[in-house]
């Protein structure tokens, strides 16, 4: 897995109650597609490619809350994405076990995002 010093500093500073689960989330998303990267923006952990895909929100809570900033635009059927507004979608996990159970769906979301954002060749 790619190591990002900025993200590692963020983990060290935050001392999250669910750090193990968040690190597993990171592992899942970074393994989904080599184009995905992780970074810190506005004090939060984000993942993206050619734009922000997903933000970790309310990081200090025990559960995991994700906001897919432009989730409405991600092509495909993802049963655990919540929301019906014009942009954002959300996904929540009670714990690491639930995260692992939905790992395949998270990977499909990341791949779909990368394909959506990939430059088209003529």
pLDDT at position 56 is 93
CATH number of the domain at 74, please: 3.90.1150
Structural domain contains residue 121: no
Give how far Cα 23 sits from Cα of 19, 78, 84, 89, Å: 6, 22, 28, 21
Structural domain contains residue 18: yes
H-helix or E-strand spanning residue 39: strand 37-41
Structural domain contains residue 37: yes
pLDDT digits (tens, 9 = 90+) for 51-89: 999 999 988 888 899 999 999 999 999 999 999 989 999
Query: Residue 42: left if φ>0, alpha if ψ -120 to 50, beta else—which one?
Result: left
- Longest Cα separation, the chain: 48
Q: Which domain holds residue 63?
A: 5-115
Structural domain contains residue 122: no
Lowest mean pLDDT among 10-14, 55-59, 64-68, 117-121: 117-121
Mean pLDDT computed over 96-115: 96
Structural domain contains residue 30: yes
pLDDT digits (tens, 9 = 90+) for 21-61: 999 999 999 999 999 999 999 999 999 999 999 999 988 88
Structural domain count of the chain? 1
Structural domain contains residue 120: no
pLDDT at position 70 is 92
Residues whose CB is less than 8 angstroms from the CB of residue 98 and which lie 6 or more positions away in sequence, other chains included: none
Mean pLDDT computed over 100-104: 97
Q: Say how far apart CA 43 and CA 65 lie, in whole Å.
A: 15
Residues whose CB is less than 8 angstroms from the CB of residue 114 and which lie 6 or more positions away in sequence, other chains included: 33, 35, 36, 49
* pLDDT confidence band for 122 (50 / 70 / 90): low
107 and 32 in contact (C-beta within 8 Å)?
yes
Q: For the whole model, what pTM was predicted?
A: 0.91
């Amino acid at each position: 897995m790619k190591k990002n010093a900025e993200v590692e500093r963020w983990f060290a500073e935050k001392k999250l109650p669910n750090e193990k689960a968040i690190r597993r989330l990171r592992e899942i998303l970074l393994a989904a597609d080599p184009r995905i990267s992780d970074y810190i923006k506005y004090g939060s952990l984000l993942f993206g490619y050619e734009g922000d895909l997903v933000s970790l929100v309310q990081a200090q809570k025990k559960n995991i809350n994700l906001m897919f900033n432009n989730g409405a635009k991600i092509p495909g059927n993802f049963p655990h994405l919540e929301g019906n507004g014009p942009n954002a979608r959300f996904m929540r996990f009670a714990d690491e076990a639930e995260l692992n159970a939905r790992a395949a769906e998270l990977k499909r979301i990341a791949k779909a995002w990368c394909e959506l954002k990939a430059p088209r060749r003529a």
